C-alpha cells in the first residue's frame, strides 16, 4: 500500500499534536489576524455596555428597595454584584488573550474558515451566502439553505479590504440597536463546520468541496489546545442565571436580616398587638 500524500499546507506539528504556527497558504487564499488595538477597543466597548446595562438594573431594582430594606442586606448584595462584575472583567481579559494567540481566518475564492479558542471551527461557502449583515462590531455572513452563519470580527487588521471583498458575495446591510443585538443572538449558534448536505452547493460541486478541504488543511490548529464551548450562547444564559441567583440572594438576605416582630404586653380588656421597633 502506498504512503498517504503529504499535506504541503499543514501547520508545523508541536508537542501534543497542536501546531502553534500556521503553515503556508494555498494559491488564492489569504490569512487575516486580529489587530490588538482595535480588538481591545471593541472588547472594552462591549464590556462597558454590559456594565452599563447591569448598573441600570441595579439602580432600578436596588434604589427603591434600599429605602425599605436593612442597610446591611443591601450593602452585602451590592458587594456581591461588584465582585461578579470584577470576575466578568478578568474573565474577558483572559478570553481576549486567548483570542490573540489562536484566532485564524482563512479566505479563499469561494470559502471562509475561522478558528479561535473556545469555539468549534466555523465555515461558510460563497454560493450559499444569502445575506451579509454588518453591526458596529463586525460582519455576519448568513445562509438560508443550509442554515449557517459566520462572524467576521471588525477588529481584523485588514477589515476594510476584506469587507469590500465580501461585499461582492452579498449586499451588505447595516443594522444597529436592538436589531443588531437580536441578529447576533440568533446567528451565533448557527456557526460551525460546513458538512456535506444533499441538495446544496457543497454536495453538487466537487471542486467546491476540494477547495474547502484545502482550506481546512491549511488552517491553524492552535485552537485545539483550549477547551471548547459546547453550546454557543451558553455564557450569556449563564450570566442571566447568575443575576437571577443574585436577586434571589438579595431577597433572602433581606428576610434574614429583618428584625422579628415584637409582641407588646397585653393590657387587660384589650387585644394583644404586635409592633416593630
CA-closest candidate to residue 190, choices 233, 248, 225: 233
Phi/psi at 33 (nearest 5 deg)? Answer: -125, 165
What pLDDT was estimated at residue 243?
60
Residue 107 predicted with pLDDT over 90 = yes
* Mode of pairing for the β-strands spanning 129-134 and 172-174: parallel
Residue 68 predicted with pLDDT over 50 = yes
What pLDDT was estimated at residue 130?
92
Phi/psi at 263 (nearest 5 deg)? Answer: -90, 120
Percent above pLDDT 70 for the chain: 64
Name, in order, each residue with C-beta under 8 angstroms of 265's C-beta and a sequence gap of 6 or more: 272
The Cα 229–Cα 120 span in angstroms is 8
135-150 mean pLDDT: 90
205-219 mean pLDDT: 87
Per-domain residue ranges of the chain: 26-254
The Cα 263–Cα 208 span in angstroms is 82
What pLDDT was estimated at residue 161?
93
Angle formed at CA 132 by CA 237 and CA 121, multiple of 5 degrees:
55
The string of pLDDT tens digits covering residues 12-52 is: 554 444 444 566 788 889 999 888 888 788 878 777 777 77
The string of pLDDT tens digits covering residues 232-274 is: 444 555 556 666 666 666 566 555 555 555 545 555 555 555 5
Specify the DSSP element, H or E, that contains 182.
helix 177-187
Residue 113 predicted with pLDDT over 80 = yes
CA-closest candidate to residue 208, choices 113, 121, 141, 111: 111
What pLDDT was estimated at residue 1?
46
Residues 208 and 201 sit within 8 Å (Cβ to Cβ) = yes
Res. 105 pLDDT band, cuts 50 70 90: very high
Amino acid at each position: 500500500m502506498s504512503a498517504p500524500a503529504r499535506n504541503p499546507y499543514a501547520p508545523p506539528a508541536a508537542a501534543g499534536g497542536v501546531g502553534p504556527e500556521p503553515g503556508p497558504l494555498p494559491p488564492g487564499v489569504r490569512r487575516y489576524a486580529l489587530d490588538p488595538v482595535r480588538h481591545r477597543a471593541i472588547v472594552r466597548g462591549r464590556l462597558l455596555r454590559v456594565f452599563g446595562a447591569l448598573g441600570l438594573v441595579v439602580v432600578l431594582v436596588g434604589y427603591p428597595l434600599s429605602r425599605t430594606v436593612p442597610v446591611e442586606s443591601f450593602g452585602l448584595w451590592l458587594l456581591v454584584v461588584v465582585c461578579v462584575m470584577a470576575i466578568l472583567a478578568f474573565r474577558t481579559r483572559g478570553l481576549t488573550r486567548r483570542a490573540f494567540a489562536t484566532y485564524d481566518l482563512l479566505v479563499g475564492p469561494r470559502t471562509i474558515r475561522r478558528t479561535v479558542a473556545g469555539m468549534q471551527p466555523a465555515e461558510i461557502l460563497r454560493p450559499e451566502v444569502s445575506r451579509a449583515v454588518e453591526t458596529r462590531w463586525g460582519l455576519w455572513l448568513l445562509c438560508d439553505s443550509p442554515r449557517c452563519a459566520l462572524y467576521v470580527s471588525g477588529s481584523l487588521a485588514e477589515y476594510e479590504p476584506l469587507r469590500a471583498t465580501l461585499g461582492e458575495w452579498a449586499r451588505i446591510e447595516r443594522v444597529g440597536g436592538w436589531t443588531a443585538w437580536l441578529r447576533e443572538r440568533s446567528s451565533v449558534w448557527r456557526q460551525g463546520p460546513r458538512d456535506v448536505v444533499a441538495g446544496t452547493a457543497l454536495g453538487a460541486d466537487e471542486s467546491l468541496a476540494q477547495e474547502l478541504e484545502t482550506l481546512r488543511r491549511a488552517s491553524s490548529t492552535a485552537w485545539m489546545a483550549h477547551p471548547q464551548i459546547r453550546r454557543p450562547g451558553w455564557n450569556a444564559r449563564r450570566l442571566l442565571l447568575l443575576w437571577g441567583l443574585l436577586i434571589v440572594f438579595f431577597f433572602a438576605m433581606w428576610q434574614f436580616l429583618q428584625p422579628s416582630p415584637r409582641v407588646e404586653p397585653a393590657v387587660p380588656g384589650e387585644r394583644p398587638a404586635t409592633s416593630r421597633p
